Structure 1
Amino acid sequence: MTEDTGTRSSVDRKVVVVTGGSSGIGRASAAVFAEAGMRVVIAARSQERGAEAEHEIRSRGGEAHFVRCDVSDPDQVRNMFARAVERYGRVDCAFNNAGVSGDGRLADLAPQDFDRAFAVNTRGLWLCMREELRLMSAQKDGGSIVNNTSVHGIRTVFPGIGAYVASKHAAVALTRMAAMEHAREGLRVNALAPGPVESEMLAASEAAVGGATTWRGLIPSGEIGTARQVAEVALWLFSTASSYVNGQVIGVDGGFLAT
């Protein structure tokens, strides 16, 4: 387990839900949160990979529980949170990380491809936030939600991924609205805007936008990030160290958004 620090001690034993927690940033984040002593509910569509992520955490002494969930389905989202509360009694934090790509020029996109990007990246995010905000508000002792968006939600970087870009801009707007509406209840809602991170999604973007090769030429450091680097910022946003941070979109991008 990770050595205890001020940030980690303030999240110890808190219950966190991680959507898209079976791979990439979500899986790495679930592991980081568990190392910090959090009780982790892993939500993902893949039964096999979700169970693997749960086992991986438990084998290292952490606490995790996997629930199969497609965030675009409101019934599955409700069930997932009901299972989380049944298991741990409450939900303190949430990392809304589930997402899909949306490749294709806008003029060439099929309606179903556009709809799929919004069904997961925007509507799915809202469905999860709706349950989280209701639960945390009823608990009356605060809570922290972190939405995983993208630098594409702040700046239009590449052509050919219009549905993805639009869905991430909408996710940023939802973050800010939720923060404004629930601040007086002690709830904080922030977002991360990762740049390129070593992941299956980045590898899959090679054909469409040049993947890591193109990104290295755009980032001041010339470095591709890691999923763990993103997770550590999310962990900080769950902690008391960030108690006055609300409604923000934090770039985790090697300085890309500063250029």
Structure 2
Amino acid sequence: MSENAGAPAAPDSLRGKVVVVTGGSTGIGRASAVAFAEAGMRVVLAARREDRGAEAAHEIRSRGGEAHFVRCDVTLPDEVHDLFARVIERHGRVDCAFNNAGVPGDGRLAELTPETFDRAFAVNARGLWLCMREELRLMSAQGGGGSIVNNTSVHGIRTVFPGIGAYVASKHAAVALTRMAAMEHAREGIRVNAVAPGPVESAMLAASEAAVGGATTWRGLIPCGEIGTARQVADVALWLFSASSSYVNGQVIGVDGGFLAT
């Protein structure tokens, strides 16, 4: 059975829409790019790793979807600006964006290096803002309308484990940026929401085993007792893009098996 078996049918309102996915070469970003293409969206993947990004775009095209890859480091303003300039050159507009690029920030606060702290904020907060700045400007210039979804984390709402302070702080910042952008641009019909994944099967989760217990610890915290999948996060982002969520704005939606309810 495929991972998306039982998922709702793709909304017709999204067919032909242009969507930009940062961090689109692996994990949640890649699964989301596939889901968006299956919904008939025109996908632009952005990531630092050119080989993986090109491979992801090729996978989508081999399945009959529309996708192309642009190399971009979201911490660099010129590269972010170039990304969206190339999207406009190719497609003429930006309808949706999934700001997914993110990095960990491990280490207890008293032991963190400035480099680790700065890196977490450079990608998870400043990089998010740099992308939203371009997206909001373009959507406004198009006459308004559009949907932005930011990938935050349950850690941006509730502090769970010690030893990941830089990551937690940067994700709290991402939540704040989401809400501020939603408030500032609501009158233009631009919606800005976020998904807050709990534990999802990924290389990042596997890497957290030594520091915080990874999947083993998480299974004891999640009411359903299961680790999520990247596709489950992608399906929520897809709904947030669609007309079915037209009155949803400034929200951070947990995709967490019920964790935030405990």
TM-score range (shorter-chain normalised) is: over 0.9
User: Tell me, which stretches of 5 or more residues in structure 2 are unaligned?
Assistant: none
For residue 52 of structure 1, the aligned residue among 34, 55, 75 is 55
Secondary structure of the 1:18 match is strand
2:79 is matched with: 76
Corresponding residue number in structure 1 for 2:38:
35
Match of 1:121 in 2: 124
Structure 1 CA distance for aligned equivalents of residues 185 and 10 of structure 2:
23
User: For 1:89 and 1:5, how far apart are their aligned partners in 2?
Assistant: 29
Residue 214 in 1 paired to residue 214 in 2?
Answer: no
Following superposition, which runs of at least 4 residues in structure 1 exceed 3 angstroms of deviation? 2-7
In the TM superposition, what is the alpha-carbon distance from 1:6 to its structure 2 partner?
6.7
1:94·1:144 contact (CA, 8 Å) conserved in 2? yes
Please give the alpha-carbon distance, in whole angstroms, between the structure 2 residues aligned to 1:87 and 1:60.
Answer: 21
Offset, 1:185: 0.4
Q: Which amino acid counterpart does residue 189 of structure 2 have in structure 1?
A: G
Q: Secondary structure at the match of 1:10?
A: helix
Q: What SS does the aligned partner of 1:81 have?
A: helix
The residue aligned with 2:186 is: 183
TM-score, with normalisation over the residues of structure 2? 0.97
TM-score (structure 1 length as normaliser): 0.98
CA distance in 2, matches of 1:135, 1:204: 37
Kindly indicate whether the alpha-carbon contact (under 8 Å) linking 2:45 and 2:67 is maintained by their aligned counterparts in 1: yes
Structure 1: gaps (5+ residues): none
Supply the RMSD in Å over aligned alpha carbons. Answer: 1.4
Partner of 2:257: 254
Contact kept in structure 2, 1:7 and 1:239, CA below 8 Å: no
- Are residue 194 (structure 1) and residue 197 (structure 2) matched? yes
The one-letter code sitting in structure 1 at the alignment partner of 2:47 is: A
Mapped to 1, the partners of 2:128 and 2:144 lie a distance apart of: 23
Question: Is 1:138 aligned with 2:141?
Answer: yes
Answer yes or no: is the 8 Å Cα contact 1:151–1:194 preserved in 2.
yes
Residue 229 (structure 1) aligns with: 232
Equivalent residue letter for 1:168 = K
Matched residues, number: 258
- For residue 89 of structure 2, the aligned residue among 86, 89, 107 is 86
Shift of 1:132: 0.2
- Using the TM superposition, give the Cα deviation of residue 8 of structure 1 relative to its aligned residue in structure 2, in angstroms: 1.9
